Amino acid sequence: MLSEVLEGAESGGLVIIRDTACYSGRRLLKYYMNCALKRGDAIHVLGFEVPENKVCAKLDSNYLHLFRFHNAYTDPLGWTEQSLFTVKNFTATEITQLLQETQHTEAPLLFIDSLSWVVRHHDTVAVCQELQKLKKAGGSVKMIFGLLHADLHQQAVVSTISHLASTVISVKPVHNACHAVAETSQRRKSGKVVQKEEIFSLTEDLTLSIETKPSQSGNVQTDLHTKPEVDPTSNLTFNLRLSEVEREAKEKVALPFVFSDEKKSALLRPGRGSGRIMYEPDANDDFDEEDPDDDLNV
């Protein structure tokens, strides 16, 4: 599924790569840059964290004429006024103007390295609004990729940014230092959500290798080491299930609290000796038939 993010890309999509200090997602971000260049897409990079030479390293040199780096690394906050692009310029209007300075036959792809710089210096709602405007900016951007350092922000902030994305890739390390785990969640325009967990490796020359087979059903891949389900009744010394003969015998047994029709009619039919309450007043009873409530002192 990692290799299909660009192939199955829908116009206006937003891909968020979430990483932590334990494993960097920048190489995966560069892998998508390289794939986009090789298929002839123009790409623009908003670089906040690393200089241009490090971003260009290992990218296919035959396609660098399609690569455009906007330097926000030198002065990301605009303190020295040496950078043409800073965190303050992160608006849909200014980014669209920046992209339109270069003539392209098709809408370019936008890579943000990283979104964490923007989120830490802007309100989260404002960042989401600008990203949403970019996605709908009349086709000026074909697709947006953003690197987000999940351990630098509160979980609510990460969830809010991720909810806006059409694809979220969370990367984390495994015991083998050469490999990592990618948990990918992709929301299609139809509303269907496809999830996959894959073990992958990325070499220095940006070659991707997937170590696990993709699930045929498109759901989350099950753990290969999961033990088969065990029947808890298999080793009991008694039987919890009834045979057909035992079930028939059980159904024929009359329950003590269930009365037959004959017994019901016998209990409800009055007969000789039925209980009655008889009352005979004695001499101590002060009962006045003309005023039966005389003893109530009303």
Could you give the C-alpha distances from 85 to 48, 240, 296, in angstroms and in order?
9, 73, 99
* Structural domain 2-172, CATH architecture: 3-Layer(aba) Sandwich (3.40)
DSSP letter, residue 91: S
Could you give the C-alpha distances from 35 to 38, 201, 290, in angstroms and in order?
5, 16, 110
Sign of the dihedral through C-alpha 68, 74, 79, 81:
negative
Report whether 44 contacts 36 (CB < 8 A).
no
Which pLDDT does position 246 carry in this prediction? 84
The two tokens of residue 189 are 């325009």
Which pLDDT does position 231 carry in this prediction? 67
User: What distance in Å separates the CA atoms of residue 112 and residue 85, rounded to the nearest whole number?
Assistant: 12
Report whether 22 contacts 154 (CB < 8 A).
no
User: Taking the domains of the chain in order of start, what are their residue ranges?
Assistant: 2-172
The two tokens of residue 48 are 């906040």
Helices (H) and strands (E) in the chain, counts: 8, 9
Q: Kind and range of the H or E element at 16?
A: strand 13-19
State whether residue 2 is helix, strand or coil: helix
User: What distance in Å separates the CA atoms of residue 105 and residue 117, rounded to the nearest whole number?
Assistant: 31
What pLDDT digit, counting tens, does each position of 199-211 carry?
999 988 899 998 7
What pLDDT digit, counting tens, does each position of 67-103 carry?
999 998 888 888 887 777 888 889 999 998 888 888 7
The two tokens of residue 195 are 């999830």
**What's this model's pTM, rounded to 2 decimal places?**
0.69
User: What distance in Å separates the CA atoms of residue 6 and residue 67, rounded to the nearest whole number?
Assistant: 17
Could you give the C-alpha distances from 98 to 43, 71, 87, 94, 126, in angstroms and in order?
12, 12, 14, 6, 19
Ranges under pLDDT 50 in the chain: 214-226
Query: Nearest 5°: phi and psi at 195?
Result: -125, 145
Report whether 129 contacts 91 (CB < 8 A).
no
Q: Are strands 13-19 and 167-173 parallel, antiparallel or unpaired?
A: parallel
Report whether 15 contacts 8 (CB < 8 A).
no
